Structure formats: structure tokens, C-alpha cells
Amino acid sequence: MEILSATKLFFFLLLFSCHVSFLSSSATAAYSIGVNYGTIADNLPPPKEVANFLKTKTNIDRIKIFDANPDILKAFTGTGISVTVTVGNGDIPSIAKLPGAQAWIEKNILPYHPKTIIRYIAVGNEILATSDKTLIAHLLPAMKALRSALDLAKARSIKVSTPHSLGILSTSEPPSSGKFRKGYDKLIFAPILEFHKQTKSPFMVNPYPYFGYKPQTADYALFKPNGGVLDAGTGINYTNMFDAQLDAVYSAMKRVGYEDVDIVVAETGWASAGDPGQPGVSVENALSYNGNLVKHVDSGKGTPLMPNRTFETYIFALFNENLKESIPERNFGLFKPDLTPVYDVGILRHDQGVGPTSAVRAKIGRQ
């Protein structure tokens, strides 16, 4: 209870103050959060070192990877940090039938389960956005085949899902008008949501207010104090774009009858650096977005259309990845490859000798 009210208090303080310094506030609050551990880089530390760092120095208690990298799965054994693995988009057709799904599980999951906690298998990434008819047609069969293969292998704790970009919506503003793209609503999303309902697995979405950035709505996108955006359909005054995007997804789910399925935020984030002159991209903005996001999801207050619901959330990304195509894409990380923070969203354990608090302690001789 004490932790809960402290969290709420922090959220309030953040709403009403423009430039809160995390260096002073994060020392007293700790939030748990997931991160996407992307590896498009040639300078990252070995997975064992990453696993040990996350376990001992941060409150990150879950990671998501974009493949089923055996070194990462091995490295997180016994850490208590759960791992969400991803089936490569190109592998989807081959696992759409049970024998293929069983072979995939046998190779990628069973050697590590249950000593490594595998939480979800994400079947591909943003498959609808690929517009690839073969992949789209095989998506739900692959999810079902994996579910059966997991059940047969008695790996029932592992859930199956697939992350979607917000491009699945034809309308998202105002949030109450949110709907799935015509043609996909009944044919694709109703059956996928029925699968989630029956298997108690979540609908995964990748909302990025970052991509909706406009100078006029910057504060609204960044969780800074702003005049709000009214949804005339419901009379709700939205004060941040993240809530508006999630409620648009909720409205679309409700239109096809599945508003009770859990939502997981599989990716969201903000770049801390970009091309020269690129607006909206800075350490300060990345800190505002991700820092307030962590507090918002940890507060448990939900969104206007989903009060008191919690959303397991995975920030993109753990590291700056130097082999990504563009400068902003290379700067989504919370950490540099040498494990120093780009900025601290409140997930560093200051008692463990990381960050400014330990430096202060060292200075006053209480280390």
C-alpha cells in the first residue's frame, strides 16, 4: 500500500511539473518494466553480462527478443527475468501445421523451459503491416499450432500472441471511433481475438506516440502538462496520446465483441537523438515519454475507457543499436553498449551502486 501511494504521488508530481529531474526523484522510487532487447548492433555486451546487469542493477523483470537466440535464452536461466521470444516472420508458414510447430518448440523452447522463464511466444512482428498475403493467411493457424504443440509438450504456462502496429486501425481519432481496417475486422481480428479469449493470452500492440509527433501536440505526446484533446463521442478529455491510442485499440476490439481480452504493450518508446534539426528528438523528451510512461503503467490507473486495468509494457529498447538504418532508430535505447544509462527512467537500483546516488554516497563516505 505504501508503495502504491508513493507511486500515485509521483505521477501527480510529474503531471504538474514541467521539467522534473529524474536524477533526484528516481532514487526514492522503483518501477518494474519490460524492455525489448534488440540486437542489431556489433558492440553489445555478451548476453550473460546483460542478464547479470539487468538482474542486479535494474528493476527490469521481463525482456522481449526479436528471435529465439539460444545464447540469450541460456543467459537468462535462473535470473527470474522472463523472456518473450519471437518467431521470425519467414518461419510462420512452416509452423502453421502441428508437426512444424512441434519441431519449432523442440528446437527453440524445450531446451530452456522452464529454467528460463519463457512468458510469451510472439508469432512474427507486425504481420498485418507487411501486407504479405501468405504470412497473413498463416498467422492464426501458426498461433493455434504453437498452442497445441505447447500443450502437448506440457508447456502450458507459455502463452502465444502476435504484436500489431497501430496501422491495423482504419480510424483512431477520436479514440471512441477506433476500428479495425475494413476486411480485416471480422475476417482476421475477430478470430485472433477469439483465440486470445479461449487461451487467456493477450492482444499485443505497438503504440508509438513518437510517430504521431507534431510540434503543436508535443506536450500531449510526451506526457507533459497540456490542454487535453476532447473526444466528443464520449466527452472524455484525453491528456496524453498513449491513453488515446490504447483506447482506440479498445474501441476497435469492442466493436467486434472482444473488449475483455487483455492488452500488452509489446513496444513503445522515444528516440533520444536524431538527424540534425529533427524536431521532438532529445534526451529530455525520451526521458519525459519513457519516464512518465513507466509511472503511468505502474500506477494501475488504466486509461479513460479501461479504468484500473494494467498493461504489461515493453519499452523499445534496451540498447542503442548501432547497425540500425537511421540515426533516430539507433537512439531508442535506455542504455549504451557499455551499460551506462542514456538516461534513467526510474528503473535503476540506486542501492546497488549505479548512478548518481552511489556517487553521492561514496562522497559522504557511507558506501
Q: Which residues are catalytic?
A: 126, 267
CB of 240 to ligand NAG, least distance (A): 10
- Partnered with residue 319 across adjacent β-strands are 335
How many angstroms from the chain centroid is the CA of residue 330? 17
Nearer to ligand NAG, 129 or 230 (CB): 230
Nearer to ligand NAG, 219 or 329 (CB): 219
CB of 20 to ligand NAG, least distance (A): 17
The only residue of 7, 125, 165, 239 in contact with ligand NAG, by rule CB under 6 A: 239
Element (H, E) at 268: strand 263-268
Size of the site for ligand NAG (CB under 6 A): 7
If one asks whether residue 24 binds ligand NAG (CB under 6 A), the answer comes out as no
CB of 43 to ligand NAG, least distance (A): 43
**In whole angstroms, how far apart are CA 323 and each of 288, 316, 342?**
26, 16, 17
State the Cα–Cα distance between residues 274 and 248, nearest whole angstrom: 28
Phi, psi of 347 (to 5 degrees): -110, 0
The only residue of 5, 131, 308, 340 in contact with ligand NAG, by rule CB under 6 A: 308
CB of 178 to ligand NAG, least distance (A): 19
If one asks whether residue 235 binds ligand NAG (CB under 6 A), the answer comes out as no
If one asks whether residue 13 binds ligand NAG (CB under 6 A), the answer comes out as no
If one asks whether residue 307 binds ligand NAG (CB under 6 A), the answer comes out as yes
Using CB under 6 A as the binding rule, the residues of this chain from 195 to 234 that contact ligand NAG are 227-228, 230
Q: Judge whether 234 and 304 are in contact, CB under 8 Å.
A: yes
Nearer to ligand NAG, 215 or 307 (CB): 307
State the Cα–Cα distance between residues 179 and 232, nearest whole angstrom: 16
State the Cα–Cα distance between residues 200 and 293, nearest whole angstrom: 25
CB of 303 to ligand NAG, least distance (A): 11
If one asks whether residue 4 binds ligand NAG (CB under 6 A), the answer comes out as no
If one asks whether residue 340 binds ligand NAG (CB under 6 A), the answer comes out as no
In the chain, what is the greatest distance between 2 CA atoms, to the nearest angstrom? 66
- CB-closest chain residue to ligand NAG: 228
Which residues, 6+ apart, have CB-to-CB distance to 5 below 8 Å?
none
**In whole angstroms, how far apart are CA 191 and each of 1, 90, 146, 150, 194?**
40, 22, 16, 20, 5
Applying CB under 6 A, which residues contact ligand NAG? 227-228, 230, 237, 239, 307-308
